[in-house]
């Protein structure tokens, strides 16, 4: 048996369960950067998230080797959550198993519902993980097919591929719709030019300067942001972008490389964006990957219309 865990926090608890089988900790961060090969992704992740490019590629090769050897296991258990970070990784894995046409004798999924108080597999105790394992669900052919379709749509240069997928229905993966909606909210708003995470960040700074740790906790707990499953590394990268260029929305009062030392404040333009008086993309050149979509100036940019709940090209 092989357990594919969604991160190191889950692994630390899993080690106390005494469940049998090999373990693969899935550490990729597919929700960030271009949906491409590890060699193509590494330079972007190094530049934007500060990840060591060589170490990143080496880790993905180790994961690929472990996946290639899954045929020798009688069962592979995928441990993932409903947030966007986990969802994209899960879609990728389902796509790989489906594309190979050689799934293990048994493929199972542990994916707990986001009931009140649930804050991730890594926050549970060993007994809870054992109970979840006992209630694991088989991955059906419909789930494999939908997972493959979801990752292909996520990796497409046409962002409307995901909207089309949702219109066809996603009952095989009940959390698909929420994850796709979360991803679409990462496109710049038609009104302000910032995405939903950035908008919540700016709103949290309206009352005055806030240190990084408190800001991360505050923004991460808000409903539009919590389903992202965003880590502090990702959040710090967003803040760096908001603070850069001749027209920043926030200021950092410490070394850009040391997020834990930051205290952040709104700039006048940041206040105008929050108030709906300014569009950040009128001042700031965009260069961002969202799956297979590269948003960059001066090309027309896909934007999210929250009122109409759809993407528009403008």
What's the pLDDT score for residue 120?
Answer: 87
The answer to whether 226 and 117 are in contact (CB under 8 A) is no
Query: pTM of the entire structure?
Result: 0.94
What's the pLDDT score for residue 257?
Answer: 76
What is the rounded distance in angstroms from the CA atom of residue 292 to the CA atom of residue 83?
19
Look at residues 73, 76, 39, 81 and name the one whose alpha carbon lies nearest to residue 58.
Answer: 39
Q: Whose structure tokens read 């995405």?
A: 195
The answer to whether 67 and 73 are in contact (CB under 8 A) is no
What's the pLDDT score for residue 101?
Answer: 62
* 296 contacts: CB under 8 Å, gap ≥ 6: 285, 286, 287, 288
Write down the domain spans for the chain.
2-183, 196-285
- Bridge partners (DSSP) of residue 2 are 22, 76
What's the pLDDT score for residue 102?
Answer: 63
Helices (H), the chain: 8-14, 38-49, 53-68, 84-100, 126-134, 141-154, 160-168, 176-184, 196-204, 212-221, 232-243, 268-274
What is the rounded distance in angstroms from the CA atom of residue 34 to the CA atom of residue 291?
5
What is the rounded distance in angstroms from the CA atom of residue 281 to the CA atom of residue 194?
8
CATH class of the 196-285 domain in this structure: mainly alpha
pLDDT per residue of the chain (314 residues) written in tens, 0 to 9 = 999 999 999 999 999 999 999 999 999 999 999 999 999 999 999 999 999 999 999 999 999 999 988 888 999 999 999 999 999 999 999 999 988 666 667 999 999 876 546 778 999 999 999 999 999 999 999 999 999 999 999 999 999 999 998 887 778 887 899 999 999 999 999 999 999 999 999 999 999 999 999 999 999 999 899 999 999 999 999 999 999 999 999 999 877 778 889 999 999 999 999 999 999 999 999 999 999 999 998 877 899 999 999 999 97
What is the rounded distance in angstroms from the CA atom of residue 210 to the CA atom of residue 264?
5
């Amino acid at each position: 048996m092989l357990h594919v865990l969604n991160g190191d926090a889950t692994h630390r608890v899993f080690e106390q369960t005494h469940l049998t089988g090999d373990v693969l900790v899935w550490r990729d961060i597919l929700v960030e950067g271009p949906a491409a090969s590890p060699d193509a992704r590494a330079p972007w992740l190094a530049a934007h998230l500060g990840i060591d490019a060589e170490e990143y590629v080496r880790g993905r090769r180790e994961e690929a080797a472990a996946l290639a050897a899954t045929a020798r296991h009688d069962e592979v258990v995928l441990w993932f959550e409903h947030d966007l970070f986990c969802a994209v990784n899960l879609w990728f894995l389902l796509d790989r198993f489906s594309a190979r046409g050689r799934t293990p004798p048994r493929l199972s999924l542990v994916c707990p519902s986001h009931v009140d108080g649930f804050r991730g597999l890594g926050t549970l105790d060993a007994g809870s993980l054992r109970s979840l394992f006992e209630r694991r669900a088989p991955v059906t052919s419909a789930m494999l097919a939908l997972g493959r379709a979801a990752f292909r749509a996520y990796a497409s240069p046409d962002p409307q591929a995901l909207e089309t997928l949702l219109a066809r229905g996603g009952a095989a993966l009940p959390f698909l719709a929420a994850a796709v909606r979360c991803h679409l909210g990462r496109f710049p708003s038609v009104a302000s030019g910032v995405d939903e995470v950035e908008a919540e960040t700016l709103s949290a700074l309206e009352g005055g300067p806030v240190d990084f740790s408190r800001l991360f906790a505050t923004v991460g707990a808000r409903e539009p942001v919590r389903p992202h499953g965003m880590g502090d590394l990702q959040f710090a990268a967003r803040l760096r972008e908001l603070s850069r260029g001749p027209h920043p929305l926030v200021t950092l009062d410490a070394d850009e490389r040391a997020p834990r030392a930051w205290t952040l404040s709104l700039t006048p333009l940041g206040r105008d964006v929050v108030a709906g008086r300014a569009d950040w993309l009128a001042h700031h050149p965009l260069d961002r990957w969202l799956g297979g979509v590269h948003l960059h100036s001066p090309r027309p940019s896909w934007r999210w219309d929250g009122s109409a709940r759809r993407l528009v090209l403008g």
